[in-house]
Amino acid sequence: METVRETENTQPTKGGPNPGLLRPPLIFLVAILLGIALNHAWPVRLMPPIVRVLGPFVTACAVVLFLLSYRAFRAAGTSVQGSKRTTVIVRNGPYRFSRNPIYLAFILLVLGLSAWLNNLWLLVMLVPAAAIIALVVIPREERFLKQNFQEQYSSYQAAVRRWL
């Protein structure tokens, strides 16, 4: 297992990088609920049958990616919750390929549900959710990790892409 623990010369920040309401699971949950509500009020069905068939597969891939990412965090002994303090930089499992596989899993989940349910509104709601993650949440997390892990995080950041 490849992880990087804090060194003694770092000044740890108390708490996690996402202490407020802008927590990724809540952001994506709101997007899903709004997409379902909008589809109920104004149904828009544009997906061809072949795309609908792929929906369950994409949804299952999202769940597997999330579980593998979660397992990597648990094996490293650090919390997945953004409101709790990160104790290590995880570099194994899906984190070898992406610095944000859990966010990728959430995006795949919404894409899969959109196709499966033939719900165009879920795709529409995915845009602001992904924008909040990319423009607010991830930069805040990266600042937190740079402050707490300095060279270790900079090395990881240089070696592994943000998304894929």
For the chain, the domains span 55-164
User: Which of 70, 101, 102, 90 lies closest to 5, judged by CA?
Assistant: 90
Average the pLDDT over each of 47-51, 69-73, 130-134, 155-159 and give the range with the smallest value: 47-51
Rounded to a whole number of angstroms, the distance between the first and last alpha carbons of the chain is 21
Task: Please tell me the predicted confidence (pLDDT) of residue 49.
Answer: 86
Average the pLDDT over each of 3-17, 50-64, 124-138 and give the range with the smallest value: 3-17
pLDDT at residue 41 is higher than 90: yes
Band of the pLDDT at 21, cuts 50, 70, 90? low
pLDDT tens digits, 116-160: 999 999 999 999 999 999 999 999 999 989 998 999 999 999 999
Contact 2, 72 (CB under 8 A): no
Task: Please tell me the predicted confidence (pLDDT) of residue 24.
Answer: 93
Element (H, E) at 108: helix 101-117
pLDDT tens digits, 76-97: 998 887 777 788 999 999 999 9
DSSP 95: G
Work out the mean pLDDT of the chain and round it to a whole number. Answer: 88
Q: 126 Cβ partners below 8 Å, 6+ apart?
A: 31, 35, 107, 110, 111, 114
> Is 79 exposed, middle or buried (CB count within 10 Å of its CB: 0-12, 13-18, 19+)?
middle
Task: Please tell me the predicted confidence (pLDDT) of residue 13.
Answer: 44
